[in-house]
């Protein structure tokens, strides 16, 4: 099949939904020759910050001369963004070739009356085939949902695991308590590996310690007291960790200091494992790291920032960043979220900070909460809210009403941020043309 046919095939696979468990994945990978077994991985789980930590690590390792695969989900602008080698997206021909191979394997599964793989399982298999073809030295791999039963956990050859701070999210799938969720996240820890974790609440920390002990793995926690001399800013930030003075990062958001420090601790652990990375590589890698949709500045006048705060943990970080960077500015929101998220808690945390809110519905997604329903939920906390019929309408109305000194935050589900950014650019180009 060609690229267009491959995309149609992947789109049709979406009817199989999302299923936790590795049995399907094992059947599929066996038929593909288990390409993942020839690769080395840095496996990342946790609740918030996985994508940012992945971006820091993969950029630093690329800077150090390694051929680095990165597998991420969801993406903002292009389907092919989710599978990259040294920052380059998978090519259309390669995608079509590997999807054709996977489709043949799935036909064989169907003939043996096995369950059809889910889209995430197919995409994960696609990434493994591509990374094997490109002879990657390391693959930085982010879990999709949870850890223990996530499709990415089919791997047997991680060089290390990284676990970002764990909080309440995906309760319908992962459990009702922090400890149950932590047990799923800890499921990526393999025997005798090295693990680095962000700061954790007591219940989650205990679960990680027990899992590491059970697996004979060595576990280190990031101590935020070692992170000093922090300089915040929504265009540039810096911090000092141990003997790394004034590490500069271009990612904004107060939480990025923690994410960067966790990535730095992971890099030092990789050095101990025999992967040389120079100090110059580390400093340059941090400076070069970009990660769209994580408190990303997309306009300066007015300030427009997009952020994927879609659960209570991320919402608290967004709240902290807004209070830190914009304590006396008028703030406007464009807000959309999935109905299976704890959106009422997200609203409780974020809505009081806004002078005006426009709700939107993420298009073409059955999980999206309708804009009117979201508006009603927001109105319980902040009455200055209205629902838009489209993302374009929300962007135009917000920017037309915003003063140059106002701050516009577009946040919630990552899946609508790409379209929102395109509409911001279109509106600004139209204004430039009128001047």
Query: What pLDDT sits at residue 173?
Result: 53
Edge-to-edge strand list for the sheet holding 227-231: 227-231, 237-241, 244-249
Are 306 and 421 contacting, i.e. CB atoms less than 8 angstroms apart? Answer: yes
pLDDT in the model for residue 435: 58
Give residues with Cβ within 8 angstroms of 135, minimum separation 6. Answer: 67
Q: Please report the DSSP string for 336-404 in residue order.
A: E-BTTS-HHHHHHHHGGG-SEEEE---TT-TTBPPHHHHHHHHHTT-S-EEE-SSHHHHHHHHHHH--T
Q: Which portions of the chain are predicted below pLDDT 70? A: 15-20, 74-77, 168-175, 434-435
Q: How far, in Å, CA of 46 to CA of 142, rounded?
A: 9
Q: Provide the pLDDT for residue 134.
A: 98
- Cite the beta strand spans of 37-152 per DSSP E: 41-45, 68-71, 83-85, 88-89, 138-142
Check residue 116 and report its DSSP letter: P
- pLDDT, residue 365, reads 82
Model confidence pLDDT, tens digit, residues 84-111:
999 999 999 999 999 999 999 999 999 9
pLDDT score of 172:
46
pLDDT, residue 57, reads 98
Whole-prediction pTM value?
0.85
**Per-residue model confidence as pLDDT tens digits over 399-426:** 999 999 999 999 998 889 989 999 999 9
**Nearby residues of 25 by Cβ (< 8 Å), 6 or more positions away:** 117, 121, 124, 125, 151, 154
């Amino acid at each position: 099949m060609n690229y267009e046919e491959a995309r149609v095939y992947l789109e049709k696979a979406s009817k199989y939904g999302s299923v936790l468990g590795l049995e399907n994945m094992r059947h599929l990978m066996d038929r593909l020759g288990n390409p993942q077994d020839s690769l080395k991985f840095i496996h990342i789980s946790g609740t918030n910050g996985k994508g940012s930590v992945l971006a820091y690590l993969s950029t630093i390792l690329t800077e150090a001369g390694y051929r680095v695969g990165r597998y991420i989900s969801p993406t903002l602008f292009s389907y092919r963004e989710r599978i990259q080698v040294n920052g380059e997206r998978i090519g259309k021909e390669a995608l079509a070739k590997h999807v054709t191979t996977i489709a043949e394997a799935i036909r064989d599964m169907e003939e043996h009356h096995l369950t059809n793989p889910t889209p995430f399982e197919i995409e994960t298999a696609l990434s493994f085939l591509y990374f094997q073809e490109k002879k990657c030295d390391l693959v930085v791999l982010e879990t999709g949902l949870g850890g223990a039963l996530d499709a990415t956990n089919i791997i047997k050859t991680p060089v290390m695991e990284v676990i970002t701070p764990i909080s309440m999210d995906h309760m319908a799938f992962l459990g009702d308590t922090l400890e149950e969720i932590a047990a799923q996240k800890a499921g990526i820890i393999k025997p005798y590996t090295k693990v680095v974790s962000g700061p954790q609440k007591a219940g989650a920390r205990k679960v990680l310690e027990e899992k590491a002990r059970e697996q004979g793995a060595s576990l280190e926690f990031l101590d935020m007291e070692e992170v000093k001399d922090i300089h915040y800013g929504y265009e540039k930030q810096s911090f000092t960790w141990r003997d790394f003075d004034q590490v500069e990062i271009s990612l904004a958001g107060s939480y990025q200091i923690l994410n960067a420090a966790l990535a730095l601790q992971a890099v030092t652990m990789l050095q101990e494992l025999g992967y040389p990375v120079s100090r110059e590589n580390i400093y340059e890698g941090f400076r070069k790291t970009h990660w769209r949709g994580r408190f990303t500045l997309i306009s300066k006048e007015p300030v427009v920032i997009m952020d994927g705060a879609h659960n209570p943990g991320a919402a608290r970080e967004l709240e902290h960043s807004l209070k830190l960077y914009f304590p006396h500015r008028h703030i406007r929101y464009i807000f959309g979220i999935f109905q299976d998220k704890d959106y009422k808690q997200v609203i409780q945390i974020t809505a009081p900070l806004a002078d005006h809110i426009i709700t939107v519905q993420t298009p073409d997604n059955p999980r999206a909460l309708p804009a009117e329903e979201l508006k009603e939920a927001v109105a319980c906390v902040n009455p200055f809210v209205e629902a838009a019929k489209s993302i374009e309408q929300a962007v135009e109305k917000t920017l037309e009403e915003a003063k140059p000194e106002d701050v516009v935050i577009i946040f919630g589900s990552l899946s609508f941020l790409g379209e929102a950014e395109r509409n911001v650019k279109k509106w600004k180009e139209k204004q430039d043309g009128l001047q």
